[in-house]
Every structure is written in structure tokens, then in C-alpha cells.
């Protein structure tokens, strides 16, 4: 594919759509206005009460007082969200309403973090200290946000400028779970029409400490830096851009190998970096009906270096598989969107998006084996297999979403997105160097191969494929009673297979064998239904949602008969239903203000493996949530005291397989307590301490590793 021609054509189409199609790319700015939370879940800033879907917002203030080391840890108490860590502390991903990270779209300032060569989905490659807020949109959001949004969207919105000419903040923190320190600082402000922010942070974390002891190969570190500049030429036009840099070093393991002297397994990621350049232009109030126009463009480069080691030394035999990968992904994207006010009752948002992922991957598989077949015969292998891949994926999308105000306090939202995806593997070369065969003592009796850098077939074939699909959504909100909003919605989900699933396959993250790509894969689809209510009356607030989801054509791996290898295929289905509840109530006393609260999820998920076997034992806990009591007291005009005593609970999970086997994880409840102070003339200092897992409960979110035992966290912050 000629990328320059593709991009130029897309840019031209975007410019034309700027005139003839409504469009704008949403970047939310304010977290709280007049006590009401404003979000951009519908790609235009509006009050949370008026949004027709389930949205949870984590604010900058919550981030500031949190001891979380990663964005994933920030999200672990959101209703409907579960944590996935794949054996690593630093690379925690999220699962929304039972849908894994592959089916959760990760955005930073509305721009996608792509992942074309992974078994675990897109990571959250940003430090938590740079976050203005996180919007968690639950349920399919494919109409407004595109492919991968079957389960929902994690939209990380970063901090931008300030209110005064010069402002700043700095922090230093200690996390006892990994005996690690983090620190960061930022300088920001607004000078007339100029908005700016410069920030940097670093975190260095050691191996995780669990009730069973320290787990080796779980340490990580991360560095984050950014710059943002924008200029308001007038109240109607703004031009700006920014730069992001993130680099992490992560390590993973699995408990079953840590305690087994005859086996070894680890995954090391010495480098996973993200570098992004972006620019935007925004015009506002162009006319009474053409209210906003925004154009965004960005270039993002992610680099991932990995090593996957598996060793088996049973009965004196040696079998080692050491896989290395160097993956490079360049993403170029543009987005154009406008807002139109069509009369007094209709607000239309529509636009065009384009993205181009260009992937290069270099892989080396090393096999060393010395296995005794009989007292005199043995099999020996010692070889490398080098693999080189080049591929790309192009996405075009047109979308439109209308909100219509109806009589009797009803608001109807309805929209459509048409998406075209083209995937191509341009190069797939594999070469083997080394030897393998049968030996009698030290004498070879049968040579299986003895080649010097000979081309071999690794089952990854060059080729291309494309498909297009429309998806739709409808939502209704009723606000006829003060402080109450009732909502109902239906939305379709859509996810396109990535290059690994479509063409390449992978050996990374596996303890044996290879999972091969499948050029015949179809996109995944889903239908999601939801009804809910939000109530916000003085000191009381509550949000209740009931959801039902039907997902089809799941991409999963199935074993190739009589081998240790697998292949991606469309065979699975999932039916998910449940409810989410978050509620709190504030009441004042002479001792201070108390706020009991809870955030709970009940969920059932039936999984169909596609071979006649269905089960509700799908690895999904039936209940999970957080509950507690917050306390705030003003000691004097210079000191405010904060505390939070809370528990986290999750019921047991079981994953059943068609061969009759199953995996189980026990349920748990942990006790936790935090205490914080805001102090200084303008409350510019903050000191936050917390003790988590007070009773040293042994628990885990997945099968790979335990979560931390009892530990303390401390964070000191300063703002001026």
C-alpha cells in the first residue's frame, strides 16, 4: 500500500467533510463545574446526569490522593471493572463487564493506543500523575469511538494549562507493596491566550511482596514526560499541540513456576515505550447552528522489546525455549468533527476518522533440548529461528450521532458509524540456524535438520483482507423529576482482528507451543441493552444500572489436534447480564462530615466455546465491589483532615473447559484504611498515607500471581 497516497487522500476527504459534514474531535477540559460532573462520553461535554450510558469518572483530586502506582490500579474500584495483570505489577489491564482488554478501547485524550502484536490487549502507557480525569464508558461505544469498544472505553484525559501565569505541583511517594519510590513535577499556567504545561515523573518499583513471600521477576519502572502548548487567538479559535513520552521496563512470572525447582518461566519487557506528537485546531460558535469545528492529527510510535523464557529440567533432562521479540508500531491518525445545533431541539455530532498502523516485528525463537529417550538414546536440539514481519492496518470511519429533545422531558440519542478496515501482511520471512536429531551416546543416528540460516515455513503468510460494517445505537433519557435521570439504551459493538490474530500468530506469553494467525477471521460483534437511573439530591447520590449483552464471533484460540499448537478462530459466544450500583450519603456532625458509600457489581457470564460446551464458569466473579466510610474534618483554617476506612470484596471464580478440567480462584475480602491532610495557607500541601490489606489476606485477581500482602503507602504533594 502507498501510505503517502492513502494519507493524502484521507486528509483531503477530511478537509471536504469539514465543510459538508458535521464533525469535531472531543477533548474534555474541565472536571467539575458548579458541583456537577461534566464528561465527554458522548463526544461533547455535558453533565453526567444527561448521558444515556453508564459512565464512571475518576477526577484529578482522586488521583492526587491515591497511592496507585499505575492507571490500572486507579480503576480497580470502578463498578463493572476488573483488574488483569498477566503476572506483572506494572502492566495491569482492565476488563469491563467481563470483556477483556482486547475488547476495551484505550484512549489518551481521545486518541487510540494501538496494539497489533499482543496476546493481552492494549496497555495503559501513561503515568497516573499526569491525569486530569479518567472516563470509564461501560458497554459498547463503537458508534462514537470505533473498533475495540465492545466492552467499553477507557478515556484518559490529561492535564493541560492553568488559570494563573505560573503554577506548579510536585510529589514524592513510597509504595510498600513493592518497596518503591515515585516522584514527579509539572509547571503550567496561562498567560493571556497562551496555555502551557510541562511535566515529568519517574517510578522505580521492586518485586512484589505477598503473603507467600517475595515474587521474583515482578519488579518494574516507568518514566513519563510531556509538553503541551495552545494559544487562544480569540474566544472563537484555538490552535495547539503536545508531546508525550513514556517508557517502562516490566517483568512477569507465574506462581506455579516460582515454587517448582524443575521449571522456570518469566516474561521480561526491557522496553515498552510510547512517543506521540499531536496538534489540533478548534473553532467555536461559527454561527448559531454551526457551533464547533475541531481537527486533530497525531503521530505515535510504540516500541516493545520482549523475552519469554520457559525451562524444564525434570529428571536431569533439559528443555529451554527462549523467545525474543522487537516490535515497532507507527500510528498516524486524523480526526475531524463538528457540532451542529439544528433548531432548538436537535444537536448533531458527526465526523470522519482515519488511522494507519505500520508494524515491523523481528522475532527470534531459541530451542535447546537434551531429552533421554532410553538408556542409550537421546534427542538433542540447539537452534535459532528468526522471523521478520511487516504489516499494516488502515481504518476509515464516518459517524453521526443526534440528540433530540422531546416533549415531557425526554431526550433521544441515536447514531451510526460506518467503518472500513484493511489489514495487510506485506512480508513474512523465517530462517533457521542450528541442528537437531537423535543420538546414541554422543554419536548422531538421525539428523532431523542441520542447516545454516535456511529459510523455513513458519505458517505466517503474506496477504491482505478488508471488511466494512455499520453499527448503530439508540438511547433515551428522562429527567421529569428533579435530581433524577432515568435512562435506557441499545448499542452495537464491533472489533476488528489485529495483525497477530489475522496473519502472524505468537509464541509470547506461552509456556509451550505457538498460536497461529487465521486470515479467515471475521470481526467480533455484540448487542448491548441497558436500563438505569441516576439520582443526585443534596448529600445523597446513587447510580443503578442493569445490563444485558450478546457477543458473537469471538476470536479465540483452539488447539490444533494432537499438537501443542493453537490457531485463532471465530467460535466463541458470550452472554453477559448483571447490575451495577454505586451510592453514597453525606451527613455532618459536630465531629466532622461522614460519607458512607458502596460500589458493587453483580454479574453472570455464560461462555460458549463453539464446540457444544457452554458454561457459566467463565472466570467471572459473581459479586465484587468496594464499600466504606469517608470522613472529613476542618481542624482549622490551615488544616483539613481526611480518612477512609473501606473493604474490597470479590466472590470466588471458576473457569471450566470442555475437556472437563477447570481453574479456580478463591474469593476474598480485604480491609484498608487511609488518612490524609491538606495543610498550608492555601492548602497547598497534601500528605496521604494508607495501609492496604491490613490482615495480610492471601488473594489474587488471576491465576498468574498473588496480589500484595499488608503494606503501607505514603505520598507528599505540593501545589503553588
* 193-213 confidence digits (pLDDT tens): 999 999 999 999 999 999 998
Instruction: Quote the pLDDT of residue 510.
Output: 52
Supply angle C-alpha 288, 292, 297, rounded to 5.
160
Q: Is the pLDDT of residue 249 over 80?
A: yes
For the chain, what is the mean pLDDT? 86
When computed from its CA atoms, the radius of gyration of the chain, rounded to whole angstroms, is 26
For the chain, give the percent of residues with pLDDT over 90: 51
Among 124, 142, 143, CA closest to 134: 124
Which pLDDT tens digit goes with each residue over 174-184? 999 999 999 99
Query: Which range, of 72-81, 87-96, 471-480, averages the lowest pLDDT?
Result: 87-96
Looking at residue 508, its pLDDT comes to 62
Weakest mean pLDDT among 5-14, 112-121, 400-409: 5-14
CATH code for the domain of 138: 2.40.170.20
Least confident of 77-86, 162-171, 366-375: 77-86
* CA–CA dist 262, 653 (Å, integer): 29
Q: Please tell me the total count of domains within the chain.
A: 1
Who has greater pLDDT, 527 or 40?
A: 527
- Give the pLDDT score at 53: 78
Q: What is the pLDDT of residue 185?
A: 96
| Burial annotation 10-39 (CB, 10 A radius, 16+ → b, else e) | beebbeebbeebbbbbbbbeebeeeeebbb
Cα 214 from Cα 706, distance rounded (Å)? 10
Contact 141, 105 (CB under 8 A): yes
Q: Which domain holds residue 93?
A: 3-719
Confidence of residue 516 (pLDDT cuts 50, 70, 90): confident
pLDDT-derived band of residue 39, with 50, 70 and 90 as boundaries? low
pLDDT band at 40, cuts 50/70/90? Answer: low
Q: Are strands 104-108 and 152-158 parallel, antiparallel or unpaired?
A: parallel
Most confident of 317-321, 466-470, 640-644: 640-644
Taking the C-alpha atoms of residue 312 and residue 264, their distance in angstroms, rounded to an integer, is 7
pLDDT at 673 over 60: yes
3-state secondary structure 192-218: CCEEEEEEEEEEEECCCEECCEECCCC
User: What pLDDT does 689 receive?
Assistant: 95
Do residues 101 and 118 touch, judged by C-beta distance below 8 A?
A: no
The model's pLDDT over 593-622, given as tens digits with 9 standing for 90+, comes to: 999 999 999 999 998 877 788 889 888 899
Contact 554, 561 (CB under 8 A): no
% of the chain beyond a pLDDT of 70 = 92
Q: Which of 713, 596, 578, 583 is nearest to 651 (CA)?
A: 578
Residue 527 has pLDDT above 60, yes or no: yes
Question: How does DSSP assign 592-615, residue by residue?
Answer: EEEEEEEEEEEEEEEEE-SSS-EE
Q: Give dist(CA 630, CA 596) in Å, integer.
A: 6
The closest alpha carbon to 6, from 422, 556, 508, 510, belongs to 422
Residue 139 confidence (pLDDT) above 90: no
pLDDT category, 316, cuts 50, 70, 90?
confident
Span 425-434, pLDDT tens digits: 999 998 999 8
pLDDT given at position 239: 97
SS3 percent helix, strand, coil of the chain, rounded to 5, is 5, 65, 30
Whether residue 65 has pLDDT greater than 90: no
Report which of 618, 470, 498, 624 is spatially closest to residue 549, judged by C-alpha positions: 618
Q: Which of 225-234, 467-476, 523-532 has the highest mean pLDDT?
A: 225-234
Taking the C-alpha atoms of residue 180 and residue 220, their distance in angstroms, rounded to an integer, is 9
**Helix and strand numbers, DSSP H then E, in the chain:** 6, 40
**Owner of C-alpha cell 484555538:** 238
Helix (H, G, I), strand (E, B) or coil at 633: strand
What confidence category does residue 578 fall into, taking pLDDT thresholds of 50, 70 and 90? very high
Q: What is the pTM of this model?
A: 0.87
Amino acid at each position: 500500500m502507498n501510505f503517502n497516497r492513502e494519507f493524502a487522500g484521507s486528509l483531503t476527504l477530511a478537509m471536504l467533510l469539514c465543510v459538508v459534514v458535521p464533525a469535531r474531535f472531543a477533548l474534555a477540559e474541565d472536571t467539575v463545574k458548579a458541583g456537577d460532573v461534566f464528561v465527554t462520553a458522548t463526544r461533547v461535554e455535558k453533565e453526567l446526569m444527561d448521558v444515556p450510558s453508564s459512565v464512571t469518572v475518576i477526577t484529578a483530586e482522586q488521583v492526587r490522593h491515591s497511592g496507585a502506582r499505575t492507571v490500572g490500579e486507579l480503576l480497580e474500584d470502578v463498578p463493572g471493572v476488573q483488574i488483569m495483570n498477566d503476572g506483572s505489577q506494572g502492566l495491569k489491564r482492565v476488563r469491563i463487564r467481563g470483556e477483556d482488554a482486547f475488547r476495551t478501547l484505550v484512549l489518551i485524550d481521545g486518541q487510540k493506543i494501538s496494539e497489533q502484536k499482543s496476546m493481552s490487549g492494549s496497555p495503559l502507557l501513561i503515568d497516573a500523575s499526569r491525569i486530569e480525569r479518567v472516563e470509564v464508558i461501560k458497554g459498547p461505544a463503537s458508534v462514537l469511538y470505533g473498533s475495540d469498544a465492545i466492552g467499553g472505553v477507557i478515556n484518559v484525559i490529561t492535564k493541560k494549562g492553568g488559570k494563573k501565569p505560573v503554577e506548579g505541583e510536585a510529589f514524592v511517594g513510597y509504595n510498600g507493596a513493592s518497596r518503591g519510590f515515585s516522584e514527579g513535577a509539572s509547571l503550567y499556567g496561562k498567560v493571556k491566550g497562551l496555555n502551557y504545561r510541562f511535566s515529568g515523573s519517574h517510578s522505580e518499583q521492586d518485586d512484589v511482596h505477598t503473603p507467600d513471600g517475595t515474587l521474583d521477576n515482578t519488579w518494574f519502572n516507568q518514566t513519563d514526560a510531556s509538553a503541551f502548548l495552545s494559544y487562544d487567538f480569540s474566544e472563537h479559535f484555538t490552535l495547539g499541540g503536545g508531546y508525550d513520552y513514556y517508557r517502562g521496563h516490566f517483568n512477569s512470572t507465574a506462581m506455579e513456576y516460582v515454587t517448582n525447582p524443575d521449571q522456570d518461566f518469566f516474561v521480561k519487557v526491557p522496553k515498552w515505550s510510547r512517543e506521540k506528537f499531536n496538534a489540533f485546531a478548534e473553532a467555536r460558535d461559527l454561527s448559531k447552528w454551526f457551533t464547533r469545528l475541531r481537527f486533530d492529527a497525531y503521530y505515535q510510535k510504540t516500541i516493545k522489546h520482549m523475552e519469554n523464557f520457559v525451562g524444564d529440567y525434570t529428571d536431569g533432562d533439559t528443555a529451554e525455549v527462549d523467545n525474543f521479540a522487537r516490535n515497532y508500531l507507527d500510528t498516524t491518525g486524523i480526526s475531524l468533527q463538528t457540532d451542529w445545533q439544528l433548531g432548538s431541539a436537535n444537536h448533531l455530532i458527526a465526523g470522519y476518522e482515519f488511522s494507519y498502523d505500520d508494524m515491523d516485528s523481528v522475532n527470534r525463537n531459541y530451542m535447546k533440548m537434551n531429552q533421554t529417550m532410553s538408556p542409550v538414546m537421546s534427542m538433542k536440539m540447539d537452534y535459532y529461528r528468526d522471523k521478520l514481519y511487516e504489516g499494516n492496518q488502515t481504518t476509515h470511519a464516518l459517524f453521526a450521532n443526534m440528540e433530540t429533545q422531546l416533549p415531557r422531558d425526554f431526550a433521544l440519542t441515536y447514531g451510526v458509524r460506518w467503518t472500513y478496515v484493511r489489514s495487510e501482511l506485506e512480508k513474512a520471512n523465517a530462517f533457521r540456524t542450528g541442528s537437531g536429531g537423535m543420538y546414541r551416546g554422543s554419536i548422531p543416528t538421525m539428523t532431523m535438520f542441520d542447516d545454516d540460516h535456511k529459510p523455513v515455513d513458519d505458517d505466517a503468510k503474506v496477504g491482505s483482507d478488508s471488511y466494512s460494517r455499520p453499527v448503530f445505537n439508540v438511547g433515551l433519557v428522562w429527567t421529569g423529576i428533579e435530581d433524577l435521570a432515568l435512562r435506557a439504551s441499545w448499542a452495537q459493538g464491533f472489533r476488528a482482528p489485529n495483525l497477530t490474530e489475522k496473519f502472524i500468530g505468537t509464541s509470547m506469553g506461552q509456556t509451550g507451543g505457538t498460536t497461529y494467525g487465521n486470515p479467515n477471521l471475521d470481526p467480533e460483534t455484540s448487542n448491548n441493552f441497558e436500563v438505569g437511573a441516576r439520582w443526585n439530591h443534596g448529600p445523597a447520590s446513587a447510580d443503578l444500572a442493569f445490563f444485558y449483552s450478546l457477543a458473537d464471533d469471538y476470536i479465540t484460540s483452539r488447539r490444533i489436534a494432537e499438537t501443542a499448537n493453537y490457531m485463532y478462530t471465530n467460535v466463541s459466544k458470550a452472554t453477559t447480564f448483571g447490575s451495577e450500583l454505586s451510592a453514597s450519603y453525606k451527613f455532618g456532625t459536630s465531629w466532622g462530615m461522614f460519607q458512607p458509600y458502596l460500589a458493587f457489581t453483580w454479574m453472570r457470564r455464560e461462555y460458549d466455546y463453539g464446540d457444544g460446551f457452554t458454561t457459566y464458569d467463565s472466570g467471572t466473579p459473581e459479586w465484587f465491589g468496594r464499600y466504606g466510610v469517608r470522613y472529613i474534618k476542618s481542624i482549622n483554617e490551615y488544616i483539613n483532615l481526611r480518612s477512609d476506612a473501606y473493604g474490597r470484596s470479590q466472590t470466588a471464580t471458576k473457569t471450566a473447559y470442555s475437556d472437563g478440567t477447570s481453574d479456580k480462584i478463591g474469593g476474598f475480602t480485604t480491609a484498608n484504611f487511609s488518612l490524609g491532610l491538606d495543610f498550608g495557607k492555601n492548602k497547598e500541601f497534601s500528605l496521604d498515607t494508607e495501609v492496604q490489606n491490613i490482615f495480610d489476606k492471601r488473594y489474587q485477581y488471576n491465576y498468574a500471581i498473588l496480589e500484595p500482602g499488608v503494606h503501607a503507602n505514603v505520598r507528599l504533594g505540593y501545589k503553588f
